[in-house]
Structure 1
Amino acid sequence: MQGQSVREISAAERQLRPLVVIVVAANFAVTALLLTTVQLAPPAPAPGIVALR
């Protein structure tokens, strides 16, 4: 019985492996896209310039 359940797990693993690879690759792609589109805040002006305004 245990041998059969191990074979079933292996079959399920083989079937799901491509899906897992696609999901992980999509996750990396979305992360890279978000990191390239993040707009950082401009640097804070120097205190002396702010005082003159």
Structure 2
Amino acid sequence: MYVRPDHRRHGPARAMVRTACEFAAGVPGYDAVHLHTNVDIPGAEAFWRSMAHEVCDAR
């Protein structure tokens, strides 16, 4: 997912992640949602860290 800079910090990405997690929680067989991000995009890593628990950081 990508949110244009002028729309950031207004909640659309957080709402999309929440919706995706709710969908996955309602489908049998899903037990986790894995997030991957490009840490070179300003704000991306901080956003994902605010939404999830880190499992692996391959850096």
Query: Which structure features the higher share of helix residues?
Result: 1
Structure with larger Rg: 1
Q: Structure 1 length as normaliser, TM-score?
A: 0.36
Structure of greater relative contact order (alpha carbons < 8 Å, 6+ residues apart): 2
